[in-house]
Amino acid sequence: MSVRFMIDSIDFVRNAGIHQDKIPVLELARLHDLLFDNEGELRYTISGHFDKNNKPNLHLEIKGKIHLCCQRCLDKLPHIVDLQTILLLVESEAELDQVDEEDTIDAILATPDLDVWSLIEEEIILSLSISSRHPDGACEMYQPESNEDILFDKTQLTNPFAALAAFKNKN
């Protein structure tokens, strides 16, 4: 197990902190139920800065490739992760509720022990679709028959009574 990256969020912003690293997909346990396998790694960059209103923000970039499970065929579905998020840091639950009502920017509670990996995992989960699947017709197990195939198959069928008549004529 790798060492998780923790920050004091407000202190990180005050010092204009920046950190880059990689996370093995295997380490993102909450994501495992949505994945086909735990292969690969994700690269991330987190930086702290103050916005034009002098509010503390974290800028998070996540890039990499994961394998989701297609909901149609249950096979591997490659998914490119390319996320950029700006998170406003608020100091109280009341402030967080107020920002949530405005619904214009994402906000999180500023904490002295913010687990960056958990934050990254949460952002990835929120970015995924409810039902991940291959484009129509791309699943190997799910190939609907065309109308021509159905018509062709019907003409090739033998009449079951004709088979009985042939059997009767033999005896």
Gyration radius (Cα) of the chain, Å = 27
The string of pLDDT tens digits covering residues 106-149 is 888 888 888 999 999 999 998 988 888 887 777 876 455 555 55
Rounded Cα distance between 129 and 34, Å, is 10
> Helix (H) and strand (E) counts for the chain?
5, 7
Q: What percent of the chain has pLDDT over 70?
A: 84
- The reported pLDDT for the residue numbered 147 is 53
Q: Are 95 and 106 a contacting pair, CB within 8 Å?
A: no
Round to the nearest angstrom and report the end-to-end CA distance of the chain: 76
Greater confidence (43 vs 154) lies with 43
CA distances (Å), origin 70, targets 40, 80, 111, 130: 18, 14, 37, 11
Average confidence score pLDDT of the chain:
82
Rounded Cα distance between 60 and 62, Å, is 7
Q: What is the pTM of this model?
A: 0.72
Residue 102 scores a pLDDT above 80:
no
- The reported pLDDT for the residue numbered 85 is 92
- The reported pLDDT for the residue numbered 4 is 80
Ranges 1-5, 51-55, 94-98, 104-108, most confident:
51-55
> Three-class SS of residue 125?
helix
